[in-house]
Amino acid sequence: MGKNLSIVTISLLFLLASTSAVQVFDVKSYGGQPNADITQALTKAWTAACAVAGSKVVISAGTYKLGGVSFLGPCKGAIEFNLQGTLEAPSDDASFKGKDFWVSFERIDSLTVSGSGIFDGKGQTAWQKNNCDKESDCKNLPINIRFDFITNSIVRDIQSKDSKFFHINLLGCKSLQIQHVTITAPGNSPNTDGIHIGRSSGITITDANIGTGDDCISIGDGSQDVTINQVTCGPGHGISVGSLGKYPNEQPVSGIRVIGGTLSGTTNGVRIKTWPSSPPGTASDMHFENVIMNNVANPILIDQGYCPNGQCSNKAPSKVKISNVSFKNIRGTSSTKEAVQLICSKSVPCQQVVVADVDLAFKGAGGSATSTCVNVMPTLSGKQNPPACTIKT
């Protein structure tokens, strides 16, 4: 009887193994060919793959044209989007008919986006139309890749190039890992943030190589439990929490860790930025450690008067409360004399700020590096180069 049971059990295991095998849906099977538009073929392949449990959509080597497309869930089971070739977006942003994305993944659990392929946003023409430096309510151009309400998922090895706007945008995601992605755009390309995180939790970014015309990584309101490991950043505007406080009803930010990594030639290093005249908000439990700065302007910066291009009509203090922040073992070179700036709000001064083992050299004219504190009294330990803050009120 025991022997028969074991045979039944083994047979059942074989059956489960065969039924759980990943089914491959190659875009070429749906009419997708290199050097042609594969929007319809890829949409069909995704729809078919999403309807089965355990599937993989494959785009093999080659260059393909792709219009704006949404990959919607929920799917029957785990699904992988594997890109080996290059996808090219339409150059003209008018063809997106007002949509704020080129490729969107939405409401999917257990998604894998993989492969060494390239999402080429063809952003050069669109950048010339970007007027966000002059208009605070400017029109959003298409984001290369949106991840909306994605859970228990992984994005690895892909490349994003020359997005018209943000490269990768996360909204409402939970338990998402981003590993070894490469993001590139010229240093003068406007609003080409590498990875923007909003209202998401349990996000890990590891071993990313990002060079853009804006923040390499930006962390928006409602972001919680975000870990950024060993990111290489430059050109760009650095790694930023914020900007926060521009809109009413923003959600708290907490549990941010930036560990390791190298920033080179960026206009900021590690930064927390909030708008003046803001509604109340909170940003807490944010820690930056073991980061190397190579010729970085503003290597360590809290800026609670963030107001680019004079867009603020009223300079009342920010009401975003910043607390429990640390900058530890930040070293390298600053391209500006004022290497450490902790400019906090008069309305809600920063609390529990730690600055430890900082070694930032300035090699320009005018003497060695300096640091400034406004509305904050940091706790200091270890090496302090530049010398500890001069308190200003």
Question: Longest C-alpha distance within the chain, in Å?
Answer: 89
The amino acid sitting at 351 is: Q
Q: Which residues are catalytic?
A: 214, 237
**Burial class of residue 368, CB neighbours in 10 A (0-12, 13-18, 19+):** middle
d(CA 317, CA 312): 11
Q: Collapsing DSSP states into helix, strand and coil, what is residue 300?
A: strand
Residue 171 has a CB neighbour count (10 Å cut-off) of: 17
Q: By C-alpha distance, which of 104, 66, 67 is closest to 85?
A: 66
Which two three-digit tokens encode residue 247?
A: 């809109």
- For the four alpha carbons of 38, 40, 41 and 42, in that order, the dihedral sign comes to positive
CA distances from 231 to 20, 167, 178, 367 (A): 36, 16, 11, 31
What b-and-e string marks burial along 115-151, b requiring 16 or more CB atoms within 10 Å of the CB? bebbbbbbbeebbeebebeeeeeeebbbbbbbbbbbb
User: Tell me, what DSSP letter sits at residue 31?
Assistant: T
